[in-house]
Structure formats: C-alpha cells, structure tokens
Structure 1
Amino acid sequence: MPTAAPSRVEDAVNRRRGDLIELSHSIHAEPELAFNEHRSCAKAQALVAERGFDITPNAAGLDTAFRASYGSGPLVVGICAEYDALPEIGHACGHNIIAASAVGTALALAEVADELGLTVVLLGTPAEEAGGGKALMLQAGVFDDIAATVMLHAGPIDIAAARSLALSEATVRYLGRESHAAVAPYLGINAADAVTVTQVAIGLLRQQLAPGQMMHGIVTDGGQAPNVIPARAEMRYAMRATDSESLRELESRMAGCFAAGAVATGCEHVVTEAAPAYAELKPDPWLASVMRAEMVRVGRSPVGEDVEAALPLGSTDMGNVTQVMPGIHPIVGVEAGGASLHQPAFAAAAASASADTAVVEGSIMLARTVVALACDDAQRERVLELQKRRAS
C-alpha cells in the first residue's frame, strides 16, 4: 500500500470539512421528495464539479440522478449519494448526511485516484424512500462498469455490516357502488367495508408470519361523505421479509387477504404492485471488516457481528446493488436523544454537531476503506474478476 494514501484521503476530507458540513445543512434545510430532489441533486454535484469530475446528468433517464467520474484507473468504485426526504418530517432519515459524506468520500479519493489506479464514480441516486432510484439505475446499466459500491447511512448506533429487509409495496383499490347510507344502503356495495375486512384478515395473518416477515399500511381513500356508501376505497401496504424468497411467500399470502375483502363485500379489486422491489442488503465481508476497523480507529464502538446479523434495519434499494456486486452500507451513529429513524427528533438531529461529525468521519472511513481495497492485490483482483464476469 502506498503508505501516504490513507492519510492523504483523511487530510483531504479535513480540508473540506466546512464545505461538507455546509452541504449537509443546505440539503437538510430544503427537503425534497422522491424524484423531485432538483435543488439537492444540484448541490451534491457542485463540489465535485469544481474538482474536475466529469458529470453526466439525468443518469438512467431520471431527472434527479447523475453520475460524476474522476480518474481513469481500471478499478472503478462507486459511491452512492442519497438526498430525498420524507413527507412532512423532512430529513428524518438523514439523507443529507449520506449525500455530504458521499461527496466527501469522492473528493478524498480523487486525491489518490491516479496513484492507486482508481476511477472514482459519485452516483446521485434519487428516490430511496419511495421509487428505488438505485434499482432503476442498476437496470439501466449505470452500474455496469463498477466493481464495488459503497455508501453509509446515519442511525442511532454504529453498524459496520448493516443488513436490511427485502421490501415490496402494493396499492389495492376496491370498487363498489354508491347509494344513500340511510335511504337505500342495500343498493350499495361498500368499498370501505372491503378495506375493513382486508385489515382484519391481515391482522389475523400476523400470528402465522415467518420470522422476519412484516407488513404495514395506510388507507389512502375511505370515502368522502358519511351518508354515501363508498364506491371506491384504496389502501397502500408495504411488505418486508428477511430475504426475497420469504418476501415472495408473504406477497402470496397478502394477495389472499386483499382478495378476501372483495369476496366478502362483493367489490371488485385491483392490485397494483410498485416497482421495483428492494432486495435485502448483502454486505461484502471483507469491505465490512475494513469498515469495522476504521470505526474503531476513529473511536466509535460498532456493534458485534452477532448483533449485526440479528438487527436488520429497514429496507433500501442499496440491497439491489449489493446482490450483484461487492458493497457495503454501514450505519454511522448520530446522537439523537433516543430518537430513531423516521421520527421528527431524528430530523432535528440530522443537522446537529453529532451529525456533522458523522459526515466528516463517515467520509474518512469510507475513503480509507476504498484505499484499502485498491491497495490489497488479492481483494482488488477479486472485485475486478467479479465485475468481469458480470460484464460477460
């Protein structure tokens, strides 16, 4: 390993500390929803554009996706930036931290790209919360030349080899017939009742779920007036499982619950599946071990490997990426006073001093992990060989 490379990337991050924190705070201050992250997308590109990265906008035909490349080495490493927020509660998942740390990692690696034979690719990946930007970009070939991909996520604790659950979503629409609820209720077919029957069926199914399976949903349309039998009702459900095979089993059982509401009430029903589904994270063991060592080096206390395996955290379209190439999605702890992801208190914490530390240390840890990959002949050859097989 070029002995100066790890310290050079660390120094590069520290030099840009102010810029990276400013970027994190700026994205946090203007939260934007999936596929509409126009300001955040532009902000994420600005620093790497100044550094001379070659930027391809609208990657995969997505308005708020981009690919920014630096260097010409044979080892192509991707760094994913997310920047979408949540409805009403803003950056309660800390995607501003993800974006800023990804930019910091890319800027740091640009300093050593030539000597390490790297091509550094910063990927702006929209719509992680809903829409699967990475999965769409993967399908469109944006990742085809990339040998390994890294990113990090904020959370309440430090986890080097983070796992996630496979996820799919479905919208269920019930169609009945209107009638006056008092004068002639017998002439109506109640779509809202179909939703009720379905939710009861789902509630009863929970007792028989396999470990790791879960579902949660909302009613998005339940009628407009109490004195009109609703002819239309709609619900949206997310289904999760430990892996994609278990998810498919759950989807089949949920389909029976959706149908039950229609059968019981005489409604018609239409199920529309959201695409793409999210696969479970498959962290690369070697990259995760390097990341764990980096966490310890900077004074963090990552959970043990036994805890990692038993603690899948939500779902992410980064799972789709790690199913086809080596990658990691570590969790970097942010002090949030006991709050967890998708809570308003975590949104506030995502612009705190602890979050700023996560941006800087996260950038350093990811950059040094990539440097370790580039400098380990056996591991470098491993990921290059896997990429070659994917391309053939």
Structure 2
Amino acid sequence: MPLAAASTCVEDAVRSRRADLVALSHAIHAEPELAFAEHRSCAKTQALVAERGFEITAGVAGLDTAFRAVYGSGPLVVGVCAEYDALPEMGHACGHNIIAASAVGTALALAEVADALGLTVVLLGTPAEELGGGKALMLQAGVFDDIAATVMLHPGPVDIAAARSLALSEMTIHYTGRESHAAVAPFLGVNAGDAVTVAQVAIGLLRQQLAPGQMVHGIVTDGGQASNVIPGHTEMRYTMRANDSESLRALESRMAGCFAAGAVATGCEHVVSDTAPAYAELAPDPWLSEVFRAEMTRVGRTPVAAELEASLPLGSTDMGNVTQVMPGIHPIVGIDAGGASIHQPEFAAAAVSASADTAVVEGAIMLARTVVALAESGVERDRVLEQWQRRAS
C-alpha cells in the first residue's frame, strides 16, 4: 500500500471513531483508579479493540491490570502503550485518560493497514506509571521481547516532539526507636520522629551541593500517633531525580548518608527499601521524533523547537526504561489547561475539555501516521528490525 494511501487510511479510521474514543477518555476520567487497581479502566481500554478482533491476553507480567492486545501477523511488531492510572485525591491530573484513548485510537487505525504493511500491532495496557513502574515490570518479565519499536504520547501544556524526562528512583525509609511517655520518662525513649528531622535537615543541607539536574522531594508518611508519646516508628518516602541514570546513582549514594544520619544521631534502626523499579531517562528515537514533529506541524500544532527540548524535562516516566532498549517515542501533545501544568487539579479538569478531546483524536492520528511512515521506509524499517534481532539474540 502506498504511503499516502496508508496514511490517509489511518487518519480516516481515527476520525471515524472519534465519538468512541472521546467517550472512552471521558469514561476513564470519570472513574479514576490508582496504581495496580485500575480494573475498570483496564477493561474499558480493552473493549474497543476486543470488538475489532484483537487477541487479548490479560494479567501479563503477573499484573492484574496489565494486558496485551494483538492484531496482525507481520514481521514488524510495534507496541502502543496505554496508561490509565490516576493520582491520589486529584484523579486524572496527569491526563492518562487521554493517553489510553489515543493509544486505542492508534491501535484501531493501524489494524486497518496491518496486513498491507506487514505489521503486527500490540496495544499494551501498562498500569501504575505514577507509582509502581508497570512498564519496567513488564519489560523485566519479557512482555516487550517481541516488539521492535514502541510509541505513546502524553498530554501537557505544550507540544514537544522529542520529549525528555528525568531518571527517577523512590525510596521508603523506616526508622525504629522505642516508645515512651513524652513527659514522664522521655529519657527512656528512642525518638524515631527526631530521626526523620535529622535526616530532613541533612537533605536540606545537601541540596546546595546537588549536581545540575539532580533534585529530591519527599513526604513523611508516618510521623507518630500521639503528641505525648515518643514515636517508636516513623516512615518517609523520598523521590530522587537526575538527568540520567548514572547521575541518579550518585545522588542515591549521597541520600543514603542522609537517611543513615537520622539513625546514627538518635540511636534508631533504619531500613531503606525501593518503593518501585527505578525509571530511566527517556531516549527518544531521533527519526521517529522528527516524523512526529512533522505530523504536529501538519495538523496545525507548533511544537517546541528541537534545540529547546532537552531543557524541558517533564518529570519522569517508566517509558524511559522502554526507550533505553528499543526505538520509541513519548511526545507531549498540548491541551489548553489555562496555564496549569500536570499534577494540578486544574489540569484534571482540562483533561476532559474540548482541547483534550482534540488531543485524543489528533494524537492517535499522529502516532498512527508515524508508525505507517516507519513501516513504509525500507531503511528505517530495517534499522529497527536489525536492532530487535540483536536484542533478541
């Protein structure tokens, strides 16, 4: 099938399903679910592709809310990632309802040309991006092993074709001391609350020596239960970010000293554990990114200039882990959020606005046409297949 014909076909396919895709986005938004508990959202994301004849495998990687939906049998296997988890108390303030609906639209469109282009389309339901690293767990479990390239998009306040992200790790730190009455016998206690305070002071002082791109932020998840009891158990959760995984490891080492300082100063015991797999930084495929950039321009969007993209990292994502091992993209598709950014309540409201609905449709069109361009380009198709063969051998 000629490139122009296939590109037109996938665009028409998305536009013909506009009502269904927008309804899916709104339905997911209306019932936000947290990491690894996205049962309704997972089912909603599968429904349209099931009707189209995709072969669905539920519960992949041992995750109840992960799935693979496959259509076609061509040698070029392309993954499309759908996210659908929400944030505590803020719902879809990251717009994952838009991600899921656009991914479904992309998969449905590519199914129309899969046989003609020698494609196998794999829609991947990937839970727990906000906390838990669903894609990282699925990658480790082999769910991506047969896939040569993977695409997805994310909503945001601006359009970015080759979006970057920060490497991330998150730790839970538990201090154990000994309870005692705060007035009668405070000297018999070992204060786990003070351990938190000392650690946070150490972290605050460390901040002036952090390398460019490094940052830390955290919360106290358990600070004690009664003001007149020396707390014997406390807990913190800290997130560390850096420009790349090597810098992140250096930051983790320095933060470990701060966590230990709380224990040493107070006589507490402390245990540090990973909350989720580490997230690597995004490494967007240059060729796929430039195709997507051209698609943004074609539909009337104005993407951020290429030379500015590296200076605009937008948080962290487990899609970074995927792009470290195979060609992939994670562009940002802008919606009108009235000046709000992701993880703000105003962005949650904007995620079902008219501009969000447009992002669902245009995003699916741009992703599908990018995959068509890959399938039709002999040089680039061979490149990603050769990379996959090296990875598989």
Indicate the TM-score class for this superposition, using the shorter chain for normalisation. over 0.9
Given residue 49 of structure 2, which amino acid in structure 1 is its aligned partner? V
1:335 matched residue in structure 2: 336
2:378 matched residue in structure 1: 377
Q: Residues 80 and 123 of structure 2 are in contact (CA less than 8 Å); yes or no, is this contact kept in structure 1?
A: yes
Q: Residues 3 and 372 of structure 2 are in contact (CA less than 8 Å); yes or no, is this contact kept in structure 1?
A: no
TM-score, normalised relative to structure 2? 0.99
1:141 matched residue in structure 2: 142
2:236 matched residue in structure 1: 235
Aligned residues: 392
DSSP-derived class of the 2:216 partner: strand
How far the C-alpha of 1:60 sits from its partner, in A, is 1.0
DSSP-derived class of the 1:3 partner: helix
Mapped to 2, the partners of 1:273 and 1:290 lie a distance apart of 37
Given residue 86 of structure 1, which amino acid in structure 2 is its aligned partner? L
Does the alignment pair 1:102 with 2:72? no
Mapped to 1, the partners of 2:257 and 2:276 lie a distance apart of 20
1:289 matched residue in structure 2: 290
Mapped to 2, the partners of 1:329 and 1:32 lie a distance apart of 22
How far the C-alpha of 1:2 sits from its partner, in A, is 3.5
How far the C-alpha of 1:276 sits from its partner, in A, is 1.0
Could you give the per-residue CA deviations for residues 259-293 of structure 1, whole angstroms, max 9, x where no partner exists?
00111111111111123110000000000000000
Mapped to 1, the partners of 2:275 and 2:232 lie a distance apart of 24
How far the C-alpha of 1:3 sits from its partner, in A, is 2.7
Does the alignment pair 1:156 with 2:160? no
Given residue 192 of structure 2, which amino acid in structure 1 is its aligned partner? A
DSSP-derived class of the 2:229 partner: coil
Given residue 79 of structure 1, which amino acid in structure 2 is its aligned partner? V
Given residue 133 of structure 2, which amino acid in structure 1 is its aligned partner? G
2:13 matched residue in structure 1: 12
How far the C-alpha of 1:39 sits from its partner, in A, is 0.4
Mapped to 2, the partners of 1:100 and 1:136 lie a distance apart of 22
Mapped to 2, the partners of 1:187 and 1:111 lie a distance apart of 72
How far the C-alpha of 1:186 sits from its partner, in A, is 1.1
> What residue ranges of structure 1 are gaps of 5+ in the alignment?
none
Mapped to 2, the partners of 1:254 and 1:59 lie a distance apart of 34
Mapped to 2, the partners of 1:365 and 1:357 lie a distance apart of 12
2:61 matched residue in structure 1: 60
1:196 matched residue in structure 2: 197
The share of aligned pairs that are identical, in percent, is: 82
RMSD of aligned C-alpha atoms? 0.6
1:70 matched residue in structure 2: 71
Write out the 4+ residue segments of structure 1 that deviate beyond 2 Å after TM superposition.
none
How far the C-alpha of 1:307 sits from its partner, in A, is 1.2
How far the C-alpha of 1:179 sits from its partner, in A, is 1.1
Mapped to 2, the partners of 1:232 and 1:3 lie a distance apart of 64
DSSP-derived class of the 1:315 partner: coil
DSSP-derived class of the 2:36 partner: coil
2:261 matched residue in structure 1: 260
DSSP-derived class of the 1:84 partner: coil
Mapped to 1, the partners of 2:37 and 2:232 lie a distance apart of 33
Mapped to 1, the partners of 2:4 and 2:273 lie a distance apart of 55
